[in-house]
Chains A and B, each alone.
Chain A
Amino acid sequence: MTIRRLTRTWVPTAVGTLAGLVALAGYLFPTTALAVYRDHLVEWAVIVAAFALILGVFNVIRVHGTRIARAGDGWWHSLALIITASLAWIPPLLFGPSHGVTRAALDYVMRPLGGSLAALLVFTLTLGAARMLRHRRSFTSILFLIVVAFALIGTTPLLGVEWLADIRGWLVQVPGLAGFRGLFLGVALGTVITGLRVLMAVDQPQAGGR
């Protein structure tokens, strides 16, 4: 066993496994001691996450700065990203989140852009629904269109068709929720298995991503 292997593999794995087990034990057995260790570990995790965010920001700057320096494909896109990111970060850093400049940037830049993206999403979904029968003529396509129509109408309580809200409620609460929970159950099971593998040191993301 070399020092290199010890420091890069065994120590991170042991620390990760121990921290995970302590945090899990703190939730499963909410004793005071375990809760204290758990809370400390969560605070360290928040700090590490904050540094990870900072590292992520610098990584984005490095990647796009390299592309600009090399004049690679889409280098102007990288330049625009760095400029807009700087404009979004600099006012809060300089004046705080409640300053007029920060709010102006939020009200006149970020919110319209966010609203435009949401509207574009609506437009794209609408266009796709209109072209549904053009590309695929099937019973499921027609059923899809009918369900979407009822859900949309039921979402907005139109006058005279309030009863559609009940149909929309049933569609959303029963078949829609069933499918959604099915997806979530799958995600939850995957999360549990991944957590157990990390706790059992089968996966060692903290030791180099293996």
Chain B
Amino acid sequence: MIHCPSCGTSNRKGSRFCNECGEPLPSTGVRCPMCNTINAVGNVYCQACNARLVPMSAPPEGEPEEAASRPIKGVSLPTIPLDSGDREREKALEEPPQEESPHEDAPSAPSWLAELRESAEDIPEETEETEDTELTSSEPFTTADIPDWLSEMGPIGEPIERTDVPPPEPGDLPDWIRELGPVREQDSVLSEEGHSPEGAAPEKLVDEDFGATEPATREAAMDEAPDWLRDILGPDTEAGREQGSEDVGGPRGTSEDESLIEIPEWLKEGGEGSPPQPPETQPEAEPPTEGASTDEESTGEEPPAETPLGAIAIPSWLEEAQTDAGKPPYEEPPPPFTETPPEDVDTPDWLKELMASTAVEQEEEDVPPFEEEELEVPEPGIETAIERADIPSWLQELRPERTGGKPTAAGPLETEGLLRGLRGVIPSADAMRAPGVFEGVRTHEPDEASLARAELFQSLLGEPALRARKRSVGETTRTPSLVDRILVACILVAAVVGMLLAPLVVGQGPHLTQPLANAGATRLYDLIQGLDNQDSVLVAFDYGPPAAAELNAAARPVMRHLLERGVALSIVSTRPGGSMVADDLMADIGAQYSLIGYRPGAAMAASQLLGTTDEPPSMLVVLSGQPLPLLLWVEQAKASYGDRLPVAAVGSAALEPLASPYLDAAAGQLTGAVFGYAGGSSYEAIQGATGEATRRLDALAAGHLAIILTMIGGAFVYALSGRGEETQ
């Protein structure tokens, strides 16, 4: 269970946020950035995908040498070529770990190694729950006190049995062994004689092995230790012993005094050869621990962890000493870990820094959850100081970014939904957070041609507007249309009115026209001339007031002639206004007549009117300005009486083309006809009088001439102007 630091609510293991208040929970593991597997906090590599969990760090600038000798946590060293023996050893290390417990090797191990095993076994594995318990400095030694480099070394107490490892030849010794200082000579001797487990161990491991012993015991042990061991431990150890300070090595295995007093035989023999290793003490190969690999990488030297402490063959003197003692000489618990070791303790620099960093990490464990997002990103300079070959390119490409998806306390506060109350859970989109960058108007240098065109366009805009070459349709038709209308109207009015008023102004003068003899008028005149007072004439007034001006002038001489002949006139009309026109005309000439009036029904009215009596009238005179009334009367008259009823027509000039065929003698529909002013003037001329038709004929002729001149003038004007809108 994970307790929320804010509200104290217990949350399930693995929870990242509190179920009650939503606050982020301390991390109980390290999430692999590659496979998201939760690993123990101390893991450097992912247990699932072997991806690196701990960020690489590099020594600060100015301390290259010190940094090189300092164990940098989580940094791999370049691969060192291995000899055949190393290759076999590597194979053995790659094998799965032995299932047998390390206690099986206890009988062959000295007491201090056994205690070391016990202490290592007492150290619980770093699990996710280890961080749940709050650590205090007053507590006895716990796992949290173990620095990472040490915890990553795995069970220290477990002996790592080595398989057939041939003794290294003097020439095969690595350089780092030769550079081990005072041990170097001893190592060389030992290496010549055979495999030396102590000599193969690095100096720091020696310190680690013996640093945890009690000072008194250690002093006694050092006094009785052989010279080679003293040399291995170094003068610092002796100095520290003199000062009586404690070693800060943490969980150390205890060494037995008696084992140190006795000098193994193989050491006594000096360079006679390597001591024979009992076959039962041949440790089996153990897979390398992460701490070992870390150490060997951090030193930058020949990996001493390839021969770890556990893999050192236990000498016979140690076995004998353990057998003689029967029990561990020192059973007191290891001293509690002190964060601030005394200054007088001979602690190597790398261990001091490591302790300092461990203390800082311990202080920070309670506050920020350690997650992969918060891994420290090494500085570029530091990163370059590390071998780039250790990080494959594909891993570099897959390296997660720190900026994406990181919930921050300064993020937006969720106000609704399941995430309400949380802040920075859902990061804002980049597009929203970062507005688009306005690049501004791109500057473009126009070429000379563009500049010239721009200047020309500007000059054109600056000039006054020219009159449009082609005006719109309304403009082209409006002004000439008005002029034409006025001109035509003036011409027509002047021509007609002038000729009408001329006799009144200047008196009777020469005429423009001369009445001509008309066959229709002549035949009508002859027909009327044959009537007498016993005859009845039916007159149909089928024209209205609009045509009265023309038709009255044409009908007036005819009606006078009928009146002169003393016939009985009956006036009928198939048009509503015909009766009024007839009454006006007959009143003008002073004739007596019988008004039948208006008869609706057109042809039916004409038929009904003509069919009322068996005897037809002596004559039918149709006065019409339109063709249809004339036609219906002719048809009904012929239908009712046939040729017994003579029909005469008095019509407008427009009716002449239609009615003229009826005047054909072969047809016989019309006995006589008078059309328009010309026919009226002809009739008047036949009568020997000058009537209204003759007077108006000059005005009509003047109007016709004006019309003809207007058409010709307009045709020439528009033909010469070339302004035709449509040409075929």
Contact = CB atoms under 8 A, between A and B. Distances in A.
Interface of A: 27, 35, 38-39, 42-43, 45-46, 49-50, 52-53, 92, 97-98, 102-103, 106-107, 110-111, 113-115, 117-119, 122-123, 125-127, 129-138, 142, 145, 148-149, 152-153, 155-159, 162, 165, 172-173, 176-177, 180-181
B509 to A, nearest CB: 13
Contacts of A153: 704-705, 708
Nearest to B660: A173
A159 B516 contact: no
A133 B546 contact: no
12 contacts: A45-B608, A52-B600, A97-B579, A103-B583, A127-B710, A135-B724, A136-B728, A149-B712, A157-B678, A158-B701, A176-B657, A181-B661
A131 to B, nearest CB: 6
B514 A159 contact: yes
A138 B579 CA distance: 47
A78 B583 CA distance: 30
A187 B182 CA distance: 143
Contacts of B715: 130, 132-133, 142, 145
A181 B599 CA distance: 28
Contacts of A134: 714, 718, 723-725
B726 interface: yes
Interface stretch (B104-112, B316-324, B333-341, B485-493): B485-493
Nearest to A115: B549
A181 B516 CA distance: 27
B725 A114 contact: no
B55 interface: no
B533 to A, nearest CB: 24
Contact of B707 (A92, A126, A138): A126
B718 A122 contact: no
B658 A180 contact: yes
Contact of A155 (B492, B599, B704, B727): B704
Contacts of A173: 657, 660-661
Closest 9 CB pairs of A and B: A114-B546, A130-B714, A156-B701, A134-B718, A110-B545, A46-B601, A114-B545, A152-B704, A49-B600
Interface in B632-678: 639, 653, 656-658, 660-661, 676-678
Interface of B: 484-485, 488-489, 492, 511-516, 544-550, 576-577, 579-581, 583-584, 587, 595, 597, 599-602, 604-605, 607-608, 611-612, 639, 653, 656-658, 660-661, 676-678, 697, 700-701, 703-708, 710-715, 718-719, 723-728
A90 B512 CA distance: 44
Nearest to B722: A137
Nearest to B513: A157
Contacts of A38: 611
A121 to B, nearest CB: 9
Contact of A46 (B488, B599, B700, B707): B599
Contacts of A129: 707, 710-711, 714
A127 B485 contact: yes
A130 B547 contact: no
Contacts of A137: 718-719, 724, 726-728
Contacts of A156: 512-513, 677-678, 697, 700-701, 704
B546 A53 contact: no
Given A106-B581, A123-B488, 6 more contacts: A39-B608, A49-B602, A111-B546, A130-B711, A135-B726, A181-B661
A66 B427 CA distance: 74
A5 B595 CA distance: 45
A177 B488 contact: no
A133 B719 contact: yes
Nearest to A118: B546
Nearest to A41: B604
A103 B489 contact: no
A152 B608 contact: no
Contact of B545 (A43, A49, A113, A155): A113
A156 to B, nearest CB: 4
Given A113-B545, A114-B546, A177-B657, A49 B511 contact: no
A190 B202 CA distance: 131
B694 to A, nearest CB: 11
B661 A177 contact: yes
A177 B658 CA distance: 6
Contact of B718 (A53, A114, A133, A152): A133
A132 B484 CA distance: 12
B656 A172 contact: yes
Name the residue in A129, A137, A156, A162 with the highest tally of chain B Cβ atoms < 10 Å from its Cβ: A156
Contacts of A45: 601, 604, 608
A196 B677 CA distance: 42
Nearest to B603: A42
Contacts of B697: 156-157
Nearest to B631: A184
Contacts of A106: 545, 577, 580-581, 584
A113 B549 CA distance: 11
A150 to B, nearest CB: 9
A180 B631 CA distance: 13
Contacts of B605: 46, 49
Given A45-B604, A122-B703, A172-B660, A97 B580 contact: yes
Contacts of B580: 92, 97, 102-103, 106, 110
A100 B488 CA distance: 38
Nearest to B681: A157
B650 to A, nearest CB: 16
Nearest to A105: B580
A117 B545 CA distance: 11
A114 B547 contact: yes
A113 B584 contact: no
Given A133-B714, A176-B657, A103 B604 contact: no
B27 to A, nearest CB: 85
Contacts of A149: 708, 711-712
A92 B583 CA distance: 12
B714 A131 contact: yes
Contacts of B485: 127
A153 B711 CA distance: 13
Nearest to B606: A42
Nearest to A181: B661
Interface core residue of B653, B657, B701 (most chain A CB under 10 Å)? B657
Given A114-B547, A134-B718, A97 B595 contact: yes
Nearest to A43: B608
Given A114-B548, A156-B678, A162 B708 contact: no
A162 B516 contact: yes
Contacts of B546: 111, 113-115, 117-118
A95 to B, nearest CB: 12
A152 B495 CA distance: 15
A129 B484 CA distance: 11
Contacts of B515: 157
Contact of B549 (A111, A133, A157, A158): A111
Given A106-B545, A135-B726, A42 B601 contact: yes
Contacts of A111: 545-546, 548-549
Nearest to A27: B639
Contacts of A152: 704, 707-708
A49 B601 contact: yes
A187 to B, nearest CB: 10
A110 to B, nearest CB: 4
Nearest to A121: B546
B711 A145 contact: yes
B639 A155 contact: no
A120 B580 CA distance: 23
A16 B548 CA distance: 38
